[in-house]
Chain A
Amino acid sequence: KAGVTQTPRYLIKTRGQQVTLSCSPISGHRSVSWYQQTPGQGLQFLFEYFSETQRNKGNFPGRFSGRQFSNSRSEMNVSTLELGDSALYLCASSLQDPGTEAFFGQGTRLTVV
């Protein structure tokens, strides 16, 4: 079966701009989680969506937001980009929740200049 697909793979944005990243989960998976991966902080949980509702949220500012559509596809948005937002953003899908097993996408590499 097809894995988790994230688009785009690479993005370069300017400080102050906003960006939207997309994630298509594995068919049948209803939970989508987002993570920020940086060399200094490792993998940090952003939020999780289940049935179009944000179910869990990590400790990130309100500039980071997301949503999930009825087909379980998810988007995350970062507004007013800062240099420190440069990172690999990973999406993971799970059948019910990330406490069972998470299947990760390849990620979107965001560079803020």
Chain B
Amino acid sequence: AQSVSQHNHHVILSEAASLELGCNYSYGGTVNLFWYVQYPGQHLQLLLKYFSGDPLVKGIKGFEAEFIKSKFSFNLRKPSVQWSDTAEYFCAVVPSGGSYIPTFGRGTSLIVHP
């Protein structure tokens, strides 16, 4: 069975600080990787995704993530956070063949102080 681990449960930063949220997964086959974000009072929405190709993917609002296959990692980064980035961030893994059962990490709560 696949699993997803998000190392940071709570992160507090000041505006303009750099952000890196860790995500590691365990699964023996090929996967599609996602980061979803949930802003306060809003629904979950896609931040970025990786299916294949360039392991460095760019998403909305200046976010990017790098897939490192050898480390089973898909870390999320942003060079300079803003107060509006305050949200909960979820990493998700879906096997890319056969069953499409998504596994989500438990989420990282990010608070950005102005």
Spell out A's residues near B (CB within 8 Å). Answer: 3-4, 31, 33, 35, 41-45, 48, 55-56, 58, 90, 92, 97-107
Contacts and interface: CB of A to CB of B under 8 A. Distances in A.
B44 A104 contact: yes
A43 B37 CA distance: 13
Contacts of B58: none
Given A42-B107, A56-B101, A100 B43 contact: no
A99 B50 CA distance: 11
Given A45-B101, A90-B44, A107-B43, A99 B106 contact: no
Interface in B38-53: 42-46, 49
A45 B44 contact: no
B90 interface: yes
Contacts of B96: 99
Contacts of B101: 45, 48, 56, 58
B45 A104 contact: yes
Nearest to B105: A42
Nearest first, the 6 closest Cβ-Cβ pairs linking A and B are A42-B106, A43-B104, A104-B44, A99-B94, A97-B100, A99-B100
Interface in B45-73: 45-46, 49
Contacts of B100: 31, 48, 55-56, 97-99
A97 B97 CA distance: 11
Contacts of B36: 104
A10 B34 CA distance: 28
Given A35-B104, A42-B105, A99-B100, 6 more contacts: A98-B100, A99-B96, A101-B34, A101-B46, A104-B45, A107-B43
